[in-house]
Structure 1
Amino acid sequence: MLLKFWPIYIPLICFLTLKPQYFTPNINVFALGDETDHLSLLKFKESISTDPYGMLLPWNTSTHFCNWHGIRCNLTLQRVTGLNLHGIRCFVGQVPSLGKLQDLLLLSFSSNNLGNNSTYDLEFLKSLTNCSKLHILGISENKFGGHLPDTLGNLSTQLSQLILGDNQISGKIPAAIGNFVDLTLLTMYDSRMEGIIPTTFGKFRKMEVLGLRGNELSGEIGAFIGNLSHLFYLEMGANMLEGTIPPSIGNCQKLQYLSLAQNNLKGTIPLEVFNLSSLTNLLDLSENSLSGYIPKEVGNLKNIDILVMSRNHLSGNIPGTIAECIMLEYLFLQGNSLDGIIPFSLASLKGLRSLDLSQNRLSGSIPYVLQNISFLEYFNVSYNMLEGEVPTEGVFRNASEVVVTGNSKLCGGISELHLPPCPVKVKKLVKHHKFRLIPVLVSAIVFLLILSIILTFYLIRKRSKKSSLDSPTIAQLAKVSYQSLHNATDGFSTTNLIGSGNFSSVHKGNLELEDKVVAIKVLNLQRKGAHKSFSAECNALKNVKHRNLVPILTCCSSTDYKGQEFKALIFEYMKNGSLEQWLHPRTLVTDNPRILKLDQRLNVMIDVASALHYLHHEREQSIIHCDLKPKNVLFDDDIIAHMSDFGIARLLSTINNTTSKKSSTLGIKGTIGYAPPEYGMGSEVSMNGDVYSFGILMLEMLTGRRPTAEIFQDGQNLHNFVANSFPENLLQILDPLLVVKEAEISTKEEIQNLTPTTEVCLVSLFHIGLACVKESPKERISMVDVTRELSKIKRAFISGKVNRNYELSNLTLYSIMNL
């Protein structure tokens, strides 16, 4: 929500990032400088009736005007280039003409008491048409009244930021505002603007922030919104907009924040909104008249923090796919006509803090698994048609944060909820009923015996056919024959070999019937443990489904053409290779090098952490991966990471919060460099072991160095290599490909290789990596904490990157002008 207030501070940020040699005070200047600018500033000072902090007292002839508070100059020309009186709370009835400050680049009067809420308050804007170099104009949070003049469109065509909100400005938005084709930011918050949004807004192809919240704007949101493809922040809430949400909004593929709340919008929510996977901060469509179902595509918003669709006319079930929004912290769907049950899958939203489903038509019980969401702080399902017992753990232990009123059939819960006790179900069998049940029971037993005999004969006959190639433990999967796999891989030729390991080799193949490219993992049955690894993998994979796990398509258990036993797993093919290939390419393609940028590496870390979190904490039986490494992280077409080779891990069952390990002779305990030290001393595989491997993976992604690199000898390892130089000598351990190059900054000025935002992000990631590779397993961070911290880092990185982009864009503008 803090994004709303960024525009207030952006002029100040940009103001402080301009070229210091041209745009800062110079205490050595004694010449009077340009007298025109000097007199214009003195005239402005005369118009100030109150200066509560005395900020303008130094504005006198004893000090050069370039050294006055809020003034910045081009010292070569001794002309005023910046007038920034942001937040000094001065009172000015009517702002005088400023048109003689012809070299002005920045003008900020925000957060003062300028204006009298009169028709003539904005007359001074007309004089700014002489300031042909103006880039930033901020007059928000004042007492300006009147209408925006049509001459506003005559201001500098180089204007990049226009901040007008929190005033008493009324009337229509001038269509001529569309002349500012270089605008990246436009805010008109909490004013009294009315009429339609001009279609000339479609010219803002560079626009990044558009804030129109809290006005009286009406009419439809035009299809022109799709032209604003660089938008990352769009706030149009609290107006009187009507019509439908235009599908063209789907063109805004960089949107991170979208609010259309508190309007009169109707119709269904277009699927294009839910396909905006860039949304990370907020989607707020509340308090409209939107109808229809919540589509399953809502699961595409996997990085969204806040999802608000309350107080509409939405109907149908809550889709289970909403649980795929793994970063979701706040979900508000109250005040609709939603029916059906509360999806059990919501329990997988481990970071969920607030859930409001009140005032709907939901039925069924409150899923007990919701009490396992450790971060859930507020839960409201009041005024539905729920029944059954209310859980008593987790958030349900706090009566002040749980609202269940208006559900007459709910019972149990903690005493503070004042619900009736749940009835005890007791089976009472009267004696004469017992005699009536005997024939029924006998008939049922006879029927089951006959059915068992029939099924036994059927299964024996089925197994006797050698063409039947699928194991009965995975009978629900599609069948594939050895012949099909043989043909698909050209006889398992070396040309189709894409990988090999201790227990298997992997071939690329094209299944003829399905016309589908797949990865075929053929198990090496000559090696000890291969049979067990196949059984373990099949049984583990048949119900293991997660967006960041490589999905299994089918299995094959048969004999080959030599009569030898043959077992294989068929996976979806990931054509973009493995993380290993991206981090350590064997050949460097200079024309189009495959390099993962920091934000991509962060996404990979989050993807892998999400998969591990699922295996460790979201299944009834936990799964230990045992062999996490870059080779087992594969990329799909969209460079989304999928973890592979988890099927040979041992299954763990949790009883009374203790881990019970089944004996195993698989002997698979990881790869040298990635396996934790305790495995080498005979310890059982564990979740803590996976955490260690994940930490090594993170450090490798950050340093670009394998844990088995030649430099790590004589007791030195990747962990120590990082720990010894962190955080003081970050650049010494950082992958050189992550260091921002000057060419990417698009400015002639020399800046630090690491921006503050990037440095904070990297330090945080190194901290997590080091916390994962603690020598003692008990001291290592859990995957629950890892996923939560990584999501926080991503949000901070995105927000900081946005602010940094403003700084860099303005640096570029001013350097180009050669002040």
Structure 2
Amino acid sequence: MYLHLFLFFTLNSSLFGLNTNVSALGNDTDYHALLKFKESISNNPLYSWNSSTHFCNWPGITCNSMHERVLMLNLEGYDLHGSISPALGNLSFLRILSLQNNGFGGKIPQEVGLLVQLQTLYLNNNSLIGEIPTNLTSCTKLENIDLSLNNLVGKLPNEIGSLRMLREFSIVTNKIEGQIPPSIGNLTSMSHLVLGDNNLEGHIPQEIGHLRKLIFLDIYSNKLSGMLPSTVYNMSSLITFSASVNRFNQSLPSNIFHTLPNLQEFDIGANQISGPIPTSITNASVLRLLDIDGSHFVGKFPNVGKLCDLRIVSASNNHLGSNSSKDLDFLSPLTNCSKLRVLSISYNNFGGVLPNFIGNFSTQMSQLYLGGNDISGKIPSELGNLNSLILLTMEFNHLYGTIPSTFGKFQKMQKLELEGNKLSGQISPFIGNLSQLFFLHLGDNMLEGSVPPSLTKCQKLQYLNLCQNNLKGTIPLEVFSLFSLTSLNLSQNLLSGNLPGEVGKLKNIEEFDVSKNHLSGKILGTIGECLSLEYLSLQGNSFHGIIPSSLASLKGLRGLDLSQNHFSGSIPEGLQHISTLEYLNVSFNMLDGEVPTEGIFRNASGFAVSGNRKLCAGISELHLPPCPAKERKFVKHHNHTRLIVVIACVVAFLLILLSCVTIYWMKKRNKQPFSDSSAINQLPMVSYKSLHDGTDGFSARNLIGFGNFGSVYKGTLESEDKVVAIKVLNLQKKGAHKSFMAECNALRNIRHRNLVKILTCCSSIDYKGQEFRALVSEFMTNGSLESWLHPAMEISDQPKALDLEQRLNIITDVASVLHYLHYECEQAIVHCDLKPSNILLDECFVAHLTDFGLAKLLSSIGVSPMQSSTVEIKGTIGYAAPEYGMGSRVSIEGDMYSFGILVLEMLTERRPTDETFKDGRNLHDYVKISIPNHLSQIMDRTILLEDSDKLTLMDRNVRECLHSLFRIALACSVESPKERMSMVGVIRELNLIKSSLLRSMNALQTQQRT
């Protein structure tokens, strides 16, 4: 008996000891595997992975509490670089491996195939190369694989069919080639199959029809061909089918939509599919998107008026219609689709007249494409009822008559194309009502009258084309106040007069064409101030005088046509130093002298000089006569040399004397009362009386905020038919004068959709005889970002809240305007005071940056500015870069720090001056130690409130977006200026986040409906 007990305890203690040793051995294996993984990271930010704490407590690690084995390795968005260590294959208990949104390179190690417990593998958005490891199929418990946004090559493994538990598989945006293996039909648990943007070819295997749980199938942008397999049409669970930009052909079966009752998105555009649109589409009762753009469909467009959820119909670039008067009958039922936002039927064969009921389309209609058809008749005035339109294209039809005045209702219109018709009459002043317009093309019509000065109200206009009309008169000076213009084409009209010197104001112009008009006079040197100019066409006018040498300043010029004018003198030698110049035509003028031989002048095919009898020399291919000898001219020149030297000395003496007098008066002037400078001369002025009356005597009830150097009032002006914001400077406060001038200097020559527009200013005397300074700007309906992040509860019982999408849009808006200020202005501008109270929101929650009272102009990017951050340049505590407090100079990196803190505040609800940040802690450190594992604890609770449906489901893409935003903010707000993320990188990352969030929201909506 005792012997049995002794043997029992001996054997069991031995077994218990063996289990303990195995556990310890496994624990030690995981520890060393993680250290090996850390060693393979080149930038190694995992400084907290050390022996001072147990590895189960390291950031990104989740362990089994009983055996202390690693279950999850989640390091998404840690900005890790290097390679993925094969040692990860030793984490034998690992279930979740998430390394997305990093910078890993190299191949996916084969050892990943040893992780037999693995359920989730996220390696997307890295720089991985090589093939998908074939032994990955040994991980038979895998449910989710995402290898998107890498540089993977090779083929899809045939063995992929063995992953029977796989639900989501995504390899979008790689370089995977070959065919889709038939074994994919074995993945019967699959719900999301995303293979888009690769080089896959061949046919879609029929076996794909076995995936009865598939709701999302995306194979867009590949080289797939043949017919769409009939088995796809029997996948009744399918919600989204995207197969655009491939090589599919033949036609669709007539009953295709009978067996797809849940289909919401059907995208097969940019293929070679032909035949009619199946009439069974009328049974697709939940269809939201129909995209057959760029295919070969023919016949009538079916009646889809019963599809109440329809939002987007894109059928452009097909062969629909028969140039018949009944081709547009299908438009009438579409007026029942109350959610329709986009209708695109351009470049087909639709004939007939636009019906008046087109004005009964959905009030949500934002984009309407009708161009490139055979539509005739007048434009219905009822079209103006669609006042939510942001885009309307009707180009290249047979429309006639005038442009309806009801188009003046298009307050949101951004792009309007009416070219290539037979429109007549004048361009009505209503065009000035389209204040959001950035693209206007009315060319190739029969329009008369003058170029409307009201265009000056379209301050966002970038593209203006009025060519090939019958416009007369001079070019109004107001056109040259459109500083945002990048392309201006007024060619082939009847315009007369001079080309005014104000043309130099077009700092952003890239294409300028006034050819074939009746313009005359000299070309002033200010044309050389258009430093962005690439193509300049002045041919076929009556310009005279010399070709201005300032054209040599246009270092990006690619095409210059001055032919068929009356230019005289020599060809400016400076043109030969423009390395980008590809085409130069000076033919049929009255030029003389020697033709240069360098640069563009070396290429006879890119340079035309015919019709100038007095030109000489040049390269031999031009066959010009040699230039006459210059000996006598040289002697005559020599005789004048002494006289020139004497004159030069006298001039130099006078300049020195003038400089001394100027310095004396400048010093004396500094002691006199403040006076306006040229900084505000370009702004229209308004009287003190107008501001006083418009604010009820600057009444307290109109006070809406405070700035650094004054107060902001809400008011109205007689000259502005809208509510405005009036910033009144407190001139008793030190620095207010300088703030006023700084703001005028910063804003006078810059234009951007995310800047608060200064409408006018006031520099006057108030009713008490005191100096008075004020700036008048656009009034923003939704106030400041500050009021939304930190609302005053006593004002409203219902707290204000911004959802995640709105916050992302605001962050993108601010990033866009900072990129413009830092890199796109002629002189870089540093704002120096970026914070929520200086970001205003309009009625559409578009962000506008304001308060440039501390702004500084920098001489050039990368060159240390002369200004130093003295006590006058403090910014705001918590937002100002730490180096400013140590006397460092103002820099772009300082704005980047403020941007990072701003984003952190928007995501966490905490101000950088929160009282919880003590003992050297700050907002940056608070966030850094809390992500990614404690995301929900630091997020603004109002995001959780507004986005509860999205965030309780916590779709992984939403998590990725949030993590990425936090990562960007932390990268911008690091202490060292040199290590801060640039705005170029921020813009790139934000674009990825927005596209990912959009996909996520669509997927979540789909999931909720099902």
Is the partner of 1:192 in helix, strand or coil? coil
Alignment of structure 1 residues 523-672 onto 2, 5 Å? 546=748, 570-572=773-775, 584-585=790-791, 589-590=795-796, 598=807, 599=809, 602-603=812-813, 606-607=816-817, 610=820, 618=826, 627-630=832-835, 633=838, 640-646=848-854, 661=866, 668=873, 670-672=875-877
1:158 to 336, 340, 354: 336
Instruction: Give the partner amino acid of 1:641.
Output: L
Instruction: Give the partner amino acid of 1:145.
Output: S
Q: Is 1:288 the equivalent of 2:469?
A: yes
Residue 707 of structure 1 is matched in structure 2 by 912
2:423 to 238, 241, 261: 241
Residue 678 of structure 1 is matched in structure 2 by 883
Q: Deviations over 1:552-603 (max 9, x none)?
A: 86599xxx99xxxxx9883436787876566545556337988785455654
Instruction: Give the partner amino acid of 2:879.
Output: Y
Alignment of structure 1 residues 368-767 onto 2, 5 Å? 370-371=553-554, 376=556, 378-380=558-560, 382-383=562-563, 385=567, 396-400=578-582, 408=591, 415-418=598-601, 469-470=673-674, 506=710, 519-522=728-731, 546=748, 570-572=773-775, 584-585=790-791, 589-590=795-796, 598=807, 599=809, 602-603=812-813, 606-607=816-817, 610=820, 618=826, 627-630=832-835, 633=838, 640-646=848-854, 661=866, 668=873, 670-686=875-891, 688-689=893-894, 691-693=896-898, 695-697=900-902, 700=905, 705-713=910-918, 716-720=921-925, 741=946
Is the 8 Å Cα contact of residues 356 and 380 (structure 2) preserved in structure 1?
Answer: yes
Is the partner of 2:883 in helix, strand or coil? helix
Q: Is 1:195 the equivalent of 2:377?
A: yes
CA distance in 1, matches of 2:569, 2:909: 55
Is the 8 Å Cα contact of residues 576 and 600 (structure 2) preserved in structure 1?
Answer: no
Offset of residue 406 of structure 1: 7.1
Q: Is 1:142 the equivalent of 2:315?
A: no
Point out which structure has higher relative CO (alpha carbons under 8 A, 6+ apart). Answer: 1
Q: Is 1:55 the equivalent of 2:228?
A: yes
Offset of residue 162 of structure 1: 4.9
Q: Deviations over 1:219-249 (max 9, x none)?
A: 3322343455565543333333333334445
Instruction: Give the partner amino acid of 1:570.
Output: R
Offset of residue 147 of structure 1: 0.8
Instruction: Give the partner amino acid of 1:285.
Output: L
Query: Structure 1 636/573 Cα, relative in aligned 2: closer, same or farther at 3 Å?
Result: farther
Query: Structure 1 721/343 Cα, relative in aligned 2: closer, same or farther at 3 Å?
Result: farther
CA distance in 1, matches of 2:460, 2:553: 28
Residue 356 of structure 1 is matched in structure 2 by 536
Number of aligned positions between the proteins: 698
Instruction: Give the partner amino acid of 2:560.
Output: N
Deviating more after overlay: 590-599 vs 223-232 = 590-599
Residue 13 of structure 1 is matched in structure 2 by none
Is the partner of 1:166 in helix, strand or coil? coil
CA distance in 2, matches of 1:285, 1:800: 39
Is the 8 Å Cα contact of residues 344 and 370 (structure 2) preserved in structure 1?
Answer: yes
Is the 8 Å Cα contact of residues 296 and 320 (structure 1) preserved in structure 2?
Answer: no
Alignment of structure 1 residues 773-784 onto 2, 5 Å? 773=973, 775-779=975-979
Is the 8 Å Cα contact of residues 279 and 304 (structure 1) preserved in structure 2?
Answer: yes
Deviating more after overlay: 355-364 vs 573-582 = 573-582
Is the partner of 1:218 in helix, strand or coil? strand
Is the 8 Å Cα contact of residues 428 and 452 (structure 2) preserved in structure 1?
Answer: yes
Query: Structure 1 74/414 Cα, relative in aligned 2: closer, same or farther at 3 Å?
Result: same
Q: Is 1:211 the equivalent of 2:211?
A: no
CA distance in 1, matches of 2:307, 2:359: 17
Query: Structure 1 777/166 Cα, relative in aligned 2: closer, same or farther at 3 Å?
Result: same
Residue 349 of structure 2 is matched in structure 1 by 168
Is the 8 Å Cα contact of residues 164 and 188 (structure 1) preserved in structure 2?
Answer: yes
Query: Structure 1 663/394 Cα, relative in aligned 2: closer, same or farther at 3 Å?
Result: farther
CA distance in 2, matches of 1:763, 1:261: 48
Point out where structure 1 has 5 or more consecutive residues left out of the alignment: 1-19, 30-50, 116-120, 525-529, 562-566
CA distance in 2, matches of 1:371, 1:323: 12
Instruction: Give the partner amino acid of 1:380.
Output: L
Is the 8 Å Cα contact of residues 743 and 852 (structure 2) preserved in structure 1?
Answer: no
Is the partner of 2:379 in helix, strand or coil? coil
Offset of residue 190 of structure 1: 2.5
Is the 8 Å Cα contact of residues 576 and 601 (structure 2) preserved in structure 1?
Answer: no
Residue 169 of structure 2 is matched in structure 1 by none
Offset of residue 194 of structure 1: 3.0
Query: Structure 1 97/578 Cα, relative in aligned 2: closer, same or farther at 3 Å?
Result: closer
Deviating more after overlay: 387-396 vs 106-115 = 387-396
CA distance in 2, matches of 1:542, 1:97: 62
CA distance in 2, matches of 1:434, 1:709: 71
Higher Cα Rg: structure 1 or 2? 2
Q: Deviations over 1:238-295 (max 9, x none)?
A: 3333333344455555555443333333323334544345657x44434433344444
Query: Structure 1 223/770 Cα, relative in aligned 2: closer, same or farther at 3 Å?
Result: same
CA distance in 2, matches of 1:586, 1:389: 68
Point out where structure 2 has 5 or more consecutive residues left out of the alignment: 1-190, 193-208, 214-223, 239-251, 603-616, 619-629, 720-724
Is the partner of 2:578 in helix, strand or coil? helix
CA distance in 2, matches of 1:779, 1:665: 23
CA distance in 2, matches of 1:208, 1:366: 42
Residue 15 of structure 1 is matched in structure 2 by none
Q: Among all aligned residue pairs of Structure 1 and Structure 2, give the percentage whose two residues are the same amino acid.
A: 25
Instruction: Give the partner amino acid of 1:674.
Output: Y
CA distance in 2, matches of 1:304, 1:758: 40
Offset of residue 416 of structure 1: 1.6
Is the partner of 1:242 in helix, strand or coil? strand
Normalised by the size of structure 1, how large is the TM-score? 0.61
Q: Deviations over 1:320-341 (max 9, x none)?
A: 7778778766555555556665
Query: Structure 1 90/457 Cα, relative in aligned 2: closer, same or farther at 3 Å?
Result: closer
Offset of residue 415 of structure 1: 1.4
RMSD (Å) for aligned C-alpha atoms: 6.9
CA distance in 1, matches of 2:305, 2:713: 69
Normalised by the size of structure 2, how large is the TM-score? 0.51
Query: Structure 1 342/749 Cα, relative in aligned 2: closer, same or farther at 3 Å?
Result: farther
Offset of residue 522 of structure 1: 4.0
Is the 8 Å Cα contact of residues 166 and 190 (structure 1) preserved in structure 2?
Answer: yes
CA distance in 2, matches of 1:167, 1:766: 47
Query: Structure 1 146/721 Cα, relative in aligned 2: closer, same or farther at 3 Å?
Result: same
Instruction: Give the partner amino acid of 2:729.
Output: I
Is the 8 Å Cα contact of residues 358 and 382 (structure 2) preserved in structure 1?
Answer: yes
